[in-house]
Structure 1
Amino acid sequence: MPTFRVELFEGRTVEQKRQFVEAITKATCESLKVEPGSVDIILVDVKKEDWATGGRLWSDAG
């Protein structure tokens, strides 16, 4: 059972998330030869103030 955990900045619409998980599921089924029901995808919305790269919060980026 492939399971994906995807962390992304909040702000995507439900439709964008729907399209994303459909595309990931399709690619996984084609490449790993598994059924769609075996693919789990967990989306985690993260605020920019809770994510940092290179010692700098994304909320501080100009």
Structure 2
Amino acid sequence: MPIAMIHIAEGRSEEKKHALLVNVTRAIAESLDAPLESVRVLIQEIPERQWAAGGKTLAERRHSNA
């Protein structure tokens, strides 16, 4: 049973997250020749203030680009 864990920043719509789940599931099933029903995909959303790159949080980056 393949399992994929995807970490993304909070803020995407339920529709976008659903599309991600469907597309990743299909890609894994096709790549591994595994039944769709055996594929597990989990999304973990990280708050913008808890995700940083280059010493700045995503919230700080978004605020400075506004």
TM-score, reference length from structure 1: 0.88
Show structure 2 runs of 5+ residues with no match: none
How far does the alpha carbon of each residue in 1:20-55 deviate from its partner, in whole angstroms, 9 at most, with x for none? Answer: 111111111111000111111111111110101122
Equivalent in the alignment of 1:26: 26
1:42 and 2:51 are equivalent in the alignment: no
After the TM superposition, list the runs of 4 or more consecutive aligned residues in structure 1 that deviate by more than 4 angstroms: none
1:56 and 2:51 are equivalent in the alignment: no
- The number of equivalent residue pairs is 62
Structure showing the higher helix proportion among its residues? 2
TM-score, reference length from structure 2: 0.83
